[in-house]
Structure 1
Amino acid sequence: MFLVDWFYGVLESLAWLWHKEAKILFLGLDNAGKTTLLHMLKDERLVQHAPTQHPTSSELRIGRIRFKAFDLGGHRMARRVWKDYYAKVDAVVYLVDAADGARFGESKTELDALLTDDALAGVPFLVLGNKIDVPHAAPERDLLYYLGLAGCTTGKGDVDLAGTGVRPLEIFMCSVVRKMGYGEGFRWMAQYIK
């Protein structure tokens, strides 16, 4: 029953993408949960994955919703090719391991570089603070602080930013392995995909 409820929750969350096709980049440091999330969305299975060595893409279809997701890897060498995928991107999902405080500074540096890149100007950013199921994971307010996003997010509801010149940017805390939190993030992101 839990799996059925979860599936319908994800389906509802992604329903905003109905009849839309989108290119979404899954970015973040290595071990943040990008590949695990992508496979949860694709196969609805939790599987242990080896670190992503080469960029991969998957076309995801849930009901009549379709989007092309790119998992570009997060290790230092992989980050050098991220720029090659910026063209015609509709949204960025940036994952942060909320339980790995030692890497918050490195994650902030990469996120700052993405947010200031002209090629991504105006592109919606969904930041997912993953691994909240781990007891020492940072809460949302701390992650906002460490990533330099305090006071920079645009609101979790239906916020009309049309004509304001403000980039949609929001953080949602989640646990990919527990299948919670990221559905709300995708619902928020979908309202900004044209």
Structure 2
Amino acid sequence: MGLLGLLRKLKSEPDKELKVLLLGLDNAGKTTILKALAGEDYTKITPTQGFNVKSVSTSKWKLNVWDIGGQRNIRPYWKNYFESINVLIYVVDSTDRARMEEAGLALNELIEEEEKLAGVPVLVFANKQDLALAKTAAEVSSDLLLSNIRDRKWQIQPCSAHTQEGLDLGMTWAVKTSCRKK
């Protein structure tokens, strides 16, 4: 079942709109996840050099998802997209052991943004779980020090953008949690 099916199952208010910010280091799989959720072809992805925006709609919900590039030189511009965010989705490449600390530092900077992201729920997708060298979601959680997050709801979800395993569970949590926040 895709994201549209999940959204139809949720009890909700009519015409509810959620703004979702999709961040993470470059090559984590953000755009692949976005295209998979939107039901688009994700077999030929190139690095995002700016941002992608996709809207996913049902009769009751509209998700506006902002996928921002994760290259080091683009990260300072992430803050330009914080306005009115309902949920932050942070994507981590579970196989990229060399950059796990960098991923944690980038996430920590987001969590510390008190003005516009205070209290915004965080979903961490531990992506690329279909690959043999992937760290488990528990290992990624430990590396990112997620248990230190006390000022907002958070969830780590193992997933594979290519097989789409775990995406529905994560998005269900994100939508339900964002709705409770409002």
Q: Structure 1 length normalisation: TM-score?
A: 0.83
- Give unpaired runs (5+ residues) of structure 1: 1-5, 155-165
Q: Kindly tell me: are residues 48 and 62 of structure 1, through their superposed partners in 2, closer, same or farther at Cα, counting changes over 3 Å?
A: farther
1:123 aligned to which of 120, 145, 162: 120
Determine if contact 2:4/2:57 at 8 Å carries over to the other structure. no
Count of residues paired in the alignment: 175
| Structure 1 residues 128-182: Cα deviation after superposition (integer angstroms, max 9, x where no partner) | 0000000010012211111111x3468xxxxxxxxxxx41111000001001102
Q: 2:177 aligns to what SS in structure 1?
A: coil
Determine if contact 1:153/1:171 at 8 Å carries over to the other structure. no
Matches for 1:21-170 after TM superposition, within 5 Å:
21-62=17-58, 64-118=60-114, 119-149=116-146, 151-152=147-148, 166-170=151-155
Q: 1:191 aligns to what SS in structure 2?
A: helix
Shift in Å at residue 52 of structure 1? 0.2
Q: In 2, distance between residues paired with 1:99 and 1:128?
A: 13
Q: Kindly tell me: are residues 77 and 66 of structure 1, through their superposed partners in 2, closer, same or farther at Cα, counting changes over 3 Å?
A: same
Q: In 2, distance between residues paired with 1:191 and 1:43?
A: 21
Q: In 2, distance between residues paired with 1:169 and 1:77?
A: 27
Shift in Å at residue 192 of structure 1? 2.1
Match of 1:3 in 2: none
Q: Structure 2 length normalisation: TM-score?
A: 0.88
- Give unpaired runs (5+ residues) of structure 2: none
Matches for 1:170-181 after TM superposition, within 5 Å:
170-181=155-166
Q: List structure 1 segments (4+ residues) > 4 angstroms apart after TM superposition.
A: none
Q: 1:192 aligns to what SS in structure 2?
A: helix
Shift in Å at residue 14 of structure 1? 3.1
